[in-house]
Structure 1
Amino acid sequence: MSTPSKADVVIVGGGITGCAIAYHLTKIGVTDVVLCERKQLTCGTTWHAAGLVTQLRATRNMTELAKYTGELFRELETETGQATGFKQNGSVRVAGNEARFEELKRGASMARNFGLPADVISAEEIKERWPLVNVDDLLGGIWMPNDGQINPADVTLAMAKGARMRGAKVLENTPVKKVIVENGRAVGVELPDGEIRADKVVIAGGMWSREFAAQIGVSLPLHAAEHFYIVTESMEGLTRDLPVLFVGHECSYYKEDAGKLLLGCFEPEAKPWGHEGIPEDFSFDSLPEDFEHFEPILEQAVKRVPQLEETGIQLFFNGPESFTPDDRYLLGETPEVRDLFCACGFNSVGILSSGGVGKALASWIKDGHSPMELADVDVRRMQPFQSNSKYLYDRTKETLGLLYKMHWPYRQYETARDVRKSPFHDRLLAMGASMTEAAGYERPGFFAGDGSSTEIGYSFGPQSWFDDAKRESLNTETNVTLFDQSCYVKFRVEGRDACKVLNHVSANNVDVEPGKVVYTQWLNERGGIEADVTITRLSETAYMVVTIVASQMRDFSWLQRHIPEDAHAIVTDVSPAMAMLALMGPKSRALLQKVSTADLSNEGFPFGTSREIEIGYAMVRASRLTYVGELGWELYIPSDFALHVFDRIVETGDEFGLQCGGFFAINSMRMEKAYRHWGHDIGEDDTPVEAGLSFAVDFDKPSGFIGQSAVVAQRQAGVPTKRLVQFQLSEIETPPLLYHEEPIWKDDKIVGSITSGGYGHRIGRSLGMGYVHCEDGVGKDFLRDGGFEIEVACERYSAEPSLSPFLDPSRSRTQS
Structure 2
Amino acid sequence: MIGGGILGCSTAYHLVRRGWKDVVVLEKAQLTSGTSWHAAGSVGQLRSSIGITQMIGYSTQLYGRLEAETGQATGWVQCGSIRLACTPERKDELERSVMIGRSIGLDIRMISPDEVKAMIPVVSLEGVLGAIYIPTDGMINPSDVTMALAKGARMEGARIFENTKVTGFVRSGDRVTAIETTGGTIACDKVVLCGGVWAREVGRLAGVNVPLQANYNQYAITDVIPGLPRGAPDLRDPDNYIYFKEEVGGYAFGNYDQEPQAYEISPIPEDHAFHLFEPELDHFTLTVDAAVMRIPALAEVGIKRFIHGLESFTEDGMPIMGEAPELRDFFLACGFNGFGIASGGGAGKAMADWITDGQPPYDLGAADIRRFSRHHGSDQMVKQLAIDGQRRHYALARPSDEAQMARTLRRSPVYAALALAGARFTPVAGWEVAEYFDGEAGADVDDLVNGEYIAAKRSAILVDDSSRAKFAIMGPGAEAALRNLFPACPPLTKGRISTGFALTPTGGIDCEVTITPLEDDNFVLTTSASRGTYLQTFIRHGLAKVPEVRWLDVTAGTAVFVMSGPAVLEILEPLIENAIPRPGTSAIEHGYLAGAPVRLVAATPFGEPGVEVHVSSDYAAYVFEALLKGGAGGGAAGGLRLAGSRAIDRLRIENGIPAFGNEIDGRTKPCEIGVAAGTGGETAGRSLKRFLVEGSAYRPKGREGLFAGDQRVGSVTSAAFSPIADGSFVLAFVDKRFADSGLELETHDGKVKIAGCGGTHSEH
Q: What range is the shorter-chain TM-score in?
A: over 0.9
What letter matches 1:799 in structure 2? Answer: I
Q: Partner residue of 1:664?
A: 646
Q: Does 2:471 correspond to 1:491?
A: yes
Which of the numbers 743, 746, 750 marks the counterpart of 1:790? 746
1:618 is aligned to 596
Q: Which range moves more in the overlay, 168-177 or 401-410?
A: 401-410
Letter in 2 for 1:269: E
Q: Which runs of 4+ in 1 moved over 6 A?
A: none
SS at match of 2:668: coil
Map of 2:687 onto structure 1: 723
Distance 1:796 1:279, change over 3 A: farther
Separation of aligned partners in 1, 2:586 and 2:172: 43
Residue 378 (structure 2) pairs with residue 388 (structure 1) = yes
1:641 aligns with 2:610: no
Matches of 1:628 and 1:31, distance apart in 2: 48
Aligned residue number for residue 18 of structure 1:
8
Q: CA RMSD in A?
A: 2.2
For 1:252, give the aligned amino acid: I
Aligned equivalent of 2:431? 441
Calculate the TM-score normalised by the size of structure 2: 0.95
Deviation at residue 567 of structure 1 after TM alignment? 5.8
What letter matches 1:786 in structure 2? G
Distance in 1 between residues matched to 2:504 and 2:581, nearest whole Å = 39
1:7 counterpart residue number: none
Q: CA deviation at 1:431?
A: 1.1
Pairing 1:747–2:703 present: no
Contact between 2:602 and 2:612, CA under 8 Å: does it hold in 1?
A: yes
- Aligned ranges for residues 760-771 of structure 1 at < 5 Å? 760-771=722-733
- SS of the residue corresponding to residue 754 of structure 2 reads strand
Over residues 558-595 of structure 1, what are the superposed CA-to-partner deviations in whole Å (9 max), with x where a residue is unaligned?
A: 23322362463222211111111112222222222212
Q: 1:674 aligns with which of 656, 670, 690?
A: 656
- Among 500, 516, 527, the alignment partner of 1:536 is 516
Residue 633 of structure 2 is aligned with which of 643, 646, 655? Answer: 655
Q: Does 1:690 align with 2:680?
A: no
Query: Distance in 2 between the 1:386 and 1:601 partners?
Result: 40
- Kindly provide the amino acid, as one letter, of the partner of residue 265 in structure 1: N
Corresponding residue of 1:413: 403
Which whole-Å CA distance do the structure 2 matches of 1:313 and 1:746 have between them?
Answer: 55
**Residue 299 (structure 1) aligned with residue 289 (structure 2):** yes
1:515 aligns with 2:495: yes
- Identity across the alignment (%): 33
The answer to whether structure 1 residue 631 and structure 2 residue 609 are counterparts is: yes
* Contact 2:496–2:586 (CA under 8 A) maintained in structure 1: yes
What is the SS of the residue equivalent to 2:537?
A: helix
Contact 1:21 1:362 in 2 (8 A): yes
Q: Deviations over 1:92-135 (max 9, x none)?
A: 11222322222212112221112121121111111110011112
Report if aligned partners of 1:497, 1:567 keep a CA contact under 8 Å in 2.
Answer: no
In structure 1, what is the Cα distance between the partners aligned to 2:146 and 2:247? 19
Instruction: Measure, in 2, the Cα distance between the counterparts of 1:50 and 1:209.
Output: 21
Whole-angstrom CA distance in 1 between matches of 2:425 and 2:401: 12
**Cα distance, 1:346 vs. partner?**
0.3
Instruction: State the SS of the aligned residue for 1:12.
Output: coil
- 1:509 positional shift: 4.7
Cα distance in structure 2, aligned partners of 1:90 and 1:512 = 55
Q: Does 1:469 align with 2:449?
A: yes
Between Structure 1 and Structure 2, how many residues are aligned? 760
Q: Select the residue among 109, 119, 132 that pairs with 2:109.
A: 119
The reply to whether residue 310 of structure 1 matches residue 265 of structure 2 is no
Work out whether 1:582 is the aligned partner of 2:562: yes
Q: Any conservation in 2 of the 1:741–1:755 contact (CA below 8 Å)?
A: yes
1:268-326 CA-partner distances (Å, limit 9, x unpaired): 23222236442222111112322222111211221221111110111122111111111
Separation in structure 1 between the aligned mates of residue 488 and residue 130 of structure 2, nearest angstrom: 52
- For structure 2, the 5+ residue unaligned runs are none
Aligned-partner Cα distance in 2 for 1:33–1:805: 45
Secondary structure of 1:238's counterpart equals coil
2:82 maps to which of 84, 88, 92: 92
Cα deviations by residue, 1:341-379 (Å, 9 ceiling, x for unpaired) = 000110111111111110111122223333443212111
Deviation larger for 90-99 or 541-550: 90-99
Q: Which string of whole-angstrom CA distances, capped at 9 and with x for unpartnered residues, describes residues 7-29 of structure 1?
A: xxxx1111110110111111122
Q: In structure 2, what is the equivalent of residue 814 of structure 1?
A: none
Aligned to 1:799: 754
Contact 1:74 1:86 in 2 (8 A): yes
CA distance in 2, matches of 1:193, 1:505: 42
**Amino acid of the structure 1 residue aligned with 2:670:** P
CA distance in 2, matches of 1:50, 1:151: 8
Kept after mapping to 1: 8 A contact 2:392/2:402: no
User: Aligned to 1:635, what secondary structure does the other structure show?
Assistant: strand
Structure 2 counterpart of 1:465, which letter? V
The Cα shift of 1:63 comes to 2.3
Residues 385-420 of structure 1 deviation map (CA, whole Å, 9 limit, x = unaligned): 123222222222321132223245996322221111
Partner Cα distance (1:408, 1:116) in 2: 26
1:165 CA drift (Å): 1.4
Counterpart in the other structure of 1:735: 698
Counterparts in 2 of 1:392 and 1:316: CA distance versus 1, 3 Å: same
Rounded Cα–Cα distance in structure 2 between residues aligned with 1:371 and 1:628: 30
Distance of 2:682 and 2:401 partners within structure 1: 41
- C-alpha offsets along residues 469-526 of structure 1, whole Å, 9 cap, x if unaligned? 1111111222222111001011111122111111122245554332211122233454
Kindly provide the amino acid, as one letter, of the partner of residue 349 in structure 2: K
The alpha carbon displacement at 1:548 in A equals: 0.7
1:364 to 2:354 alignment? yes
Query: 1:704 corresponds to which residue?
Result: none
Q: Which moved more, 1:323-332 or 1:91-100?
A: 91-100
Task: Report the counterpart of residue 682 of structure 2 in structure 1.
Answer: 713
User: What runs of 5+ residues in structure 1 fail to find an aligned partner?
Assistant: 1-10, 454-463, 700-707, 715-719, 812-816
**AA aligned opposite 1:747:** G
Return the alpha-carbon distance in structure 2 between the equivalents of residues 19 and 526 of structure 1: 26
1:188–1:201 contact (8 Å) kept in structure 2: no
Question: Are the aligned partners of 2:581 and 2:602 in contact in 1 as well (CA < 8 Å)?
Answer: no
Change in CA separation of 1:187 and 1:640 when aligned onto 2, cut-off 3 Å = same
Which amino acid in 2 is paired with 1:598?
N
Q: Distance in 2 between matches of 1:759 and 1:409?
A: 20
